[in-house]
Amino acid sequence: MSTQTRPIVPRGARPAVLGRPGQVLVASFAGAIVVGTLLLMLPIAVVSEPVPGPLPADVGPWGGAPVLAALFTATSAVCVTGLIVVDTATYWSPFGQVVVLALIQLGGLGIMTFASLLTILLARRLGLRSRLIASASVRSVSLGDVRAIVIGVAKVGFGTEAVVAVVLAVRLATGYGAGLGESVWFGLFHSVSAFNNAGFALYTDNLMGFVTDPWVCLPIAAAVVLGGLGFPVLFELRRHFRMPRKWSMHTKLVISGTVVLLLGGVITITALEWSNPQTLGPLDPAGKILAGVFASVVARTAGFNSIDVSAMHTQTWFAQDVLMFIGGGPAGTAGGLKITTFAVLFFIIVTEIRGGTAVNIFGRRLARSVHREATTVALLAVAVVMIGTWSLLIMTTFSLDQIVFEVVSAFATVGLSTGITHLLPAGGQLILVALMFIGRLGPLTLASALALRSRSSYVELPKERPIIG
C-alpha cells in the first residue's frame, strides 16, 4: 500500500498551478500589440498614396507602414493612449482605421475581460484560473462575482459607446452635411475612442473643428468621464445612485476626486488660456468655457484636443502634467497614477502631520496594506517618469517642459502632445512605446509579473527604525 504526502500550503498562499495572472495580462497585451503591428504593416492598411511622414522610411518591408510607425500606433491603440507619429485620418486606409479601432476596444475594455466574456458565451462558466485572470484585469474583489462583472463591463462599455455613437452620427449628418455612412463610421470611431479614453480621431486637427460645438464635445466628454470612473464605481452607482451613504470608500474617493480635479482643471486652464490668441482668445465667453471644460476632461487620460495644445502657455502644460499624472479611477479605461492612489497618499500625509496612528477616510479605517501598495505604485510611477524624461533629454534637443509633458502623457496613457512626438528619433519613440506599455498595465502589475520570486517569505526579521526626514 503506497502513501502520498500532501504538501503543506500556508494559509493564504496561492497554489503554484494557478500561476501569476499578472504574467498572463502582460503577455496578452504584448501579443495584441504584435498582432496589431503586423496588421498595420500590410499594404492594405495604408492609403494608396500616403502623406509622407517624418519617419526614416515611408514604406515598410511589406509595402505598408514601416515597422516603427506600425509598432507605435499599435501600442498607442492597445494602451488606449492616442499619441501618433502618422496622421490617423490621412495615413491609414479604412482597413487600417478598423484595425486601430479594434485594438482600442480590445485594450480599453481589457483583453482578459474579452477573453473571459468569450469563455462565458461559449462554455457558460469560468474556471478558477480564468476567474483569477479576469479578477486581475477588472480589479474584482470577489472571485465569485467575476462572471457578473465581466458581463456588466461589456454591457456598460458597449451601451455607452452605442448611445454616444448615435448622438455624434446624428450631429454630423444634420449639422455638417455628412453622408449616412460617414456619419455612422465617424460617430462609432470617436465614441469607442472616447469611452476607452484613447484620444484617436479621424480628423487631422483632432477635434479642433468642433471647439464650440457642445453636441460633439459634451457627449465625448461624458463618455471620457464614464470610462475614467472605473467599472466598480459605475456598478455601485447603478445600485445606490441616490444613496451616497451606502457608497464604499473607493467610490467616494473616486467621485470626490474626479469632481475636485475636473473643477480645478477647468478653472486653471480657462484662466491661464483666456487671453491666449492661439487657444481660447478668439472664442466668445461660452466657447471659452466649453473649451476649458473639454480640455480639463481630456487631460484626465483621454487625449482629444479641441484647442492647439502646442500653443498653450508653459504654466498650462504644467497644470495638465498634474492632471495627466493623477489620471482617473482604477479598473476602468483611464490611466495615470489613479485618483485613489493619490487620495490615499494625501490622507496618509495628513494623518502623519496630525500625529495620528490610523488613517481614517470617510468614517472608515484604511488597511495598512494599502499604505504600502499606494507608496509603491507612486514611487514606481515617479521613477518611470524620471527615467523616461532623463533618457529623452539626452537624445533630443527639446526643452524640459516639452519632454516632461510628452513622457507624462505617454506613461499616463493620455495622448496629448506639444507636437514633438513625430519629431523624436527612433530611440525616443521606442521609449514612448515602453512608457505606454508600462502605464497601461501599471508599474506594480508589470513589476510583479517580472518578479523572480513567486513565493512569499514567512520569516520576520527584527525591527529597527532609521531616522526619517
Residue range 272-320, pLDDT digits in tens: 999 999 999 999 999 999 999 999 999 988 889 999 999 999 999 999 9
pLDDT digits (tens, 9 = 90+) for 220-244: 999 999 988 888 888 888 888 888 8
pLDDT at 54: 44
Calculate the alpha carbon distances from 380 to 88, 274, 406, 463 in Å: 32, 36, 18, 25
Q: Is the pTM of this model over 0.75?
A: yes
Residue ranges for the chain with pLDDT beneath 50: 1-19, 52-57, 141, 452
pLDDT at 451: 53
pLDDT at 14: 43
Residues 223, 321 contacting (CB under 8 angstroms): no
40-77: b or e for each residue (b if 16 or more CB lie within 10 Å)? bbbeebbeeebeebebeebebeeebbbbbbbbbbbbbb
46, β-bridge pairs: 92
Calculate the alpha carbon distances from 298 to 11, 193, 439 in Å: 45, 12, 17
Of all helices (H) and strands (E), which one includes residue 229? helix 214-229
pLDDT at 127: 61
CA quadruple 335, 29, 107, 255: dihedral sign:
negative
pLDDT at 60: 67
pLDDT at 154: 82
Tell the residue number behind the cell numbers 494559509, with chain if given. Answer: 11
% of the chain with per-residue pLDDT over 90: 57
Residues 141, 235 contacting (CB under 8 angstroms): no
408, three cell numbers? 507624462
Helix (H, G, I), strand (E, B) or coil at 60: coil
Residues 192, 104 contacting (CB under 8 angstroms): yes
361, β-bridge pairs: 364
CB burial of residue 383 (10 Å; 0-12, 13-18, 19+): exposed
CB burial of residue 241 (10 Å; 0-12, 13-18, 19+): exposed
**Integer Cα distance of 449 and 443 in angstroms:** 10
Tell the residue number behind the cell numbers 461660452, with chain if given. Answer: 286
